[in-house]
Structure 1
Amino acid sequence: MFSLWLGAYNQGLAYAGLALGVYLTLRVLNFADITVDGSFALGGGMAAVLITNNINPAVALIAAVLSGALAGCVTALIHTRLGVNDLFAGILTSTGLYSITLRLMDRSNIPLIGLDFGLDSDADWALALSLVVLGLIALLALLLATDLGLALRALGNNPTMARANGVSGAKGLTIGIALANGLVALAGGLVAFYQGFADVTMGLGSLILGLGAVIVGESICRPRTIPMALAAVVLGSILFRLMIAIALQLGLEPVDLKLVTALLLLGALTLGRLRLPGLADGGRRL
């Protein structure tokens, strides 16, 4: 039983980058970005390809982050330069990323079982992932407190006023979406390492998982500051995985997980009364 909970905790931490990336796009930039479905799989595939070619895991994860950031830049450019709707821009990029990831991996699945990450137990993974996530929270909190971070927050909160004060909407969105998808790709690499394989379809439904983590965390913690919000998102990621672990423990069939995930998200959204881009106002923007 303990190993089940510890495994869910580790999975929640591995997916924390996904949740933080979704938080940046939805909450900070007010941008509904579906690119995450593609950048998550791209990050996992990039990390898997490099580590199977004897590249250091840290270097492989950095490459995954850069690949995800590049994908985010593509979406931002499609939206800002070509005037394509944010949802359609993300769909276009995510669709193209499927073929790119498949080409990169040269097959649909890359097994990583047997590779040495220097982490021999779930306890080792828990410590390593905790340190990584704490570092991400600290770095993001510092970034969002800088002039650049304040500009990004202003752009998402009131783009007209932000542009009137000299904030470039195109550059701001490009930086923010690239950063968010870099975090998502990092999560893809960490999940691939932890679960022992990378799959070209592993990104399907990533947006829902990230959104679920954001909603659960904010519904429970009701954060009032940026650092608290980032911590709440990570907590939401862990709790979301724990909910799924509980459902499995109660005898739920794995084929029903998508339905349960949708119902959990709907319940949290209803109870939390939170605002999403395009939906009615119901939450407080930080």
Structure 2
Amino acid sequence: MIIDGIGQGLMWACLTIGVFITFRILDIPDLTTEGSFPLGAAVTIKLMLSGQSAVVAMLCGFGAGFLAGMVTGLLDTQLHIPSLLAGILTMTGLYSVNMHIMGKANIPLLDQKVLTNYLPETWDVTVQTIVIGVIICTIVVALLVMFFKTQSGLALRATGNNTTMSAANGIKTNRTIVLGYAISNGLIAVSGSLIAQSNGFADIGMGIGTIVIGLASVLVGEIILPAKKMVWRLIAMVLGAIVYRVLLTLAMNVGVSPDDLKILSAIILVIVIVLPMIQNQYRSRQQLKRYLQKLNLNSGVKTDE
């Protein structure tokens, strides 16, 4: 069951990385996630049913998510709509877009060849899922590491750290923010594409709660592997997605109903938000205690003299 959780975690890793880009790098809560995730699934399944290969369909899914992110970015930067509301507006509009793409609320994949079918048939399905997940995550992490070393990537990170200072130094912050939105939602759409292929269908409601899943995975990854270098931060996101899905898999195997997974996700998110706060408070108290002990010790020495 843990192996199944690892495979599913790798499928969700692109979602986690996408949420990481907006939430951590740009410091923006982007709810477009819940629309771009099923968008990637819808585009992929529809193209595969029309005869396109899984690879081409998934790349088109990335492109669709990229465009959805651009829409949110333009609403935010050009129309000055608050980022949270801009994401909600795009997410709402994408519901209709996804319905038009699929034609109905749910479309099955039927007998089309998915990514795992390119691997030897003798391999177990779970092993195939893990191999495909590792390949895709490796490609995504490698490409992002190279991107963040470019001028555009450095501008994106600088804009997230301090928008005003970045603009003062000549960075076109609006363009950079739109690019961040676009890359984020493109990766989220890729995750939707992978999950749709794994499940064998695309569903109009499959994006509900994905922002909670993404945020929880980001925070879990940061707890597991706290790092400053971008390559390790991205690897931490992959690990966070894996651990999160393993936790959900274990919960289901001990009797938790699938209907309760959403509330379980919310509980996990609350825990990973509160846990670092408790740790910081504990460290602060310990530091204060050591300082007071040192102060008392010095006072005692002076008194003896």
Question: Do they fold alike, i.e. is TM over 0.5?
Answer: yes
Structure 1 residues without counterparts, runs of 5 or longer: 275-286
How big is the shift at 1:115?
A: 2.7
Question: Counterpart amino acid of 1:128?
Answer: I
How big is the shift at 1:221?
A: 1.0
Instruction: Give 1:34's match in structure 2, choosing from 19, 31, 35.
Output: 31
Aligned-partner SS, 2:30: coil
- Aligned counterparts of 1:171 and 1:200: Cα–Cα separation in 2: 31
Aligned-partner SS, 2:183: helix
- Aligned counterparts of 1:224 and 1:177: Cα–Cα separation in 2: 22
**2:140 paired with 1:143:** no
Q: What aligned pairs does 1:160-239 form with structure 2 within 5 A after superposition?
A: 160-239=164-243
Identity of aligned residues (%): 38
Report the counterpart of residue 85 of structure 1 in structure 2: 82
How big is the shift at 1:37?
A: 0.6
Report the counterpart of residue 72 of structure 1 in structure 2: 69
Report the counterpart of residue 282 of structure 1 in structure 2: none
- Aligned counterparts of 1:273 and 1:115: Cα–Cα separation in 2: 48
How big is the shift at 1:245?
A: 0.5
Aligned-partner SS, 1:227: helix
**2:12 paired with 1:8:** no
Residues 112-134 of structure 1 deviation map (CA, whole Å, 9 limit, x = unaligned): 25332225422122112111101
**2:105 paired with 1:108:** yes
Higher helix fraction (1 or 2): 2
- Aligned counterparts of 2:256 and 2:129: Cα–Cα separation in 1: 26
Q: What's the RMSD between the two structures over aligned residues?
A: 1.2
How big is the shift at 1:31?
A: 1.3
How big is the shift at 1:83?
A: 0.8
Instruction: Give 2:15's match in structure 1, choosing from 18, 24, 43.
Output: 18
Report the counterpart of residue 127 of structure 1 in structure 2: 131
How big is the shift at 1:196?
A: 1.1
- Aligned counterparts of 1:244 and 1:263: Cα–Cα separation in 2: 11
Q: What aligned pairs does 1:90-101 form with structure 2 within 5 A after superposition?
A: 90-101=87-98
**2:46 paired with 1:49:** yes
- Aligned counterparts of 1:98 and 1:233: Cα–Cα separation in 2: 27
Instruction: Give 1:253's match in structure 2, choosing from 246, 251, 257.
Output: 257
- Aligned counterparts of 1:152 and 1:28: Cα–Cα separation in 2: 8
Larger radius of gyration: 2
1:215–1:272 Cα contact (<8 Å) kept? no
2:30–2:87 Cα contact (<8 Å) kept? yes
- Aligned counterparts of 2:277 and 2:44: Cα–Cα separation in 1: 37
Report the counterpart of residue 294 of structure 2 in structure 1: none
Question: Counterpart amino acid of 2:33?
Answer: V
**2:240 paired with 1:243:** no
Aligned-partner SS, 2:51: coil
How big is the shift at 1:206?
A: 0.9
Deviates more, 1:115-124 or 1:256-265: 115-124
How big is the shift at 1:53?
A: 1.1
Report the counterpart of residue 286 of structure 2 in structure 1: none
- Aligned counterparts of 1:270 and 1:60: Cα–Cα separation in 2: 40
Question: Counterpart amino acid of 2:45?
Answer: A
- Aligned counterparts of 2:128 and 2:245: Cα–Cα separation in 1: 19
Aligned-partner SS, 2:78: helix
Deviates more, 1:253-262 or 1:233-242: 253-262
- Aligned counterparts of 2:215 and 2:178: Cα–Cα separation in 1: 21
Q: How many residues align?
A: 271
- Aligned counterparts of 1:112 and 1:12: Cα–Cα separation in 2: 21
Report the counterpart of residue 281 of structure 1 in structure 2: none
Aligned-partner SS, 1:110: strand
Aligned-partner SS, 1:54: coil
How big is the shift at 1:215?
A: 0.3
